[in-house]
A = this chain, B = another copy of it.
């Protein structure tokens, strides 16, 4: 899909010149990503997508088969590289000598998220929000089709945290990971519960590095806290 393929279509080539318009399928993915984040899966209609992507209404079904399949494509386009990047970080830590610290493990997840947030196309930053949306919406697609193949992600992090936090029981460890990953996703997604109560955003962080600065000590402290008697 990303490979350069010679085009003989002059008209298309010209369009590419003029507006550097990506191809139909990519345009659909880009627009969908944004709209799914803004309005959710149910709240985004194919009409909205195709109008903004300036493609035919039938194009979505033509290229992706169904709205569900489109969602899956939107999702996997970002999820696969993210997971791969995290695993690469873990590999790197495994290869390094000495015991891996909790902070290093946390950064093994944060760093790829950070890269995503800084993605120049802005699509990456949206994806974290999409992920947290999909999570809360508890998508059938998440539970059934998508992922589940990424259990390796959880297992690898689980093993690494177990080694880094030897004092914790398995149950306690699972909870810590649950809380830690939850808080990290929330932070990057910019979900601010307190917005429910006050109009003004409590935290103002457009800068992803600021997120890390405040997030990191919180998460690490939470993870290493002594378990409650």
Interface size of A in residues (CB-CB distance below 8 Å): 68
A128 to chain B, nearest CB (A): 10
A56 to chain B, nearest CB (A): 14
- In terms of DSSP, what is the predominant structure of the interface of chain A? helix
Known: A178-B202, A191-B182, A202-B178. A196 touches B228 (CB 8 A): no
Identical copies of this chain, number: 4
* Segment of A8-16, A23-31, A91-99, A146-154 in the binding face: A146-154
Per-position binary interface string of chain A over residues 203-229, scored 1 when its CB falls under 8 Å from any chain B CB and 0 otherwise: 101000000011111111111111110
Instruction: Give Cα A151 to B199, complex, Å.
Output: 8
Which chain B residues border A202 with CB–CB below 8 Å? 154, 174, 177-178
A132 within 8 A of B: yes
A172 within 8 A of B: yes
Q: Which of B40, B143, B175, B213 contacts A42 (CB 8 A)?
A: B40
Contact of A178 with B196 in the complex, beta carbons under 8 Å: no
Shortest beta-carbon contacts, A-B, top 6? A221-B225, A175-B214, A218-B222, A42-B42, A222-B222, A42-B43
A: which residues have CB within 8 A of B? 38-40, 42-43, 79, 83, 131-138, 142-143, 146-148, 150-151, 153-154, 171-172, 174-183, 185-187, 189, 191-199, 202-203, 205, 213-228
A169 to chain B, nearest CB (A): 11
Instruction: Give Cα A166 to B110, complex, Å.
Output: 28
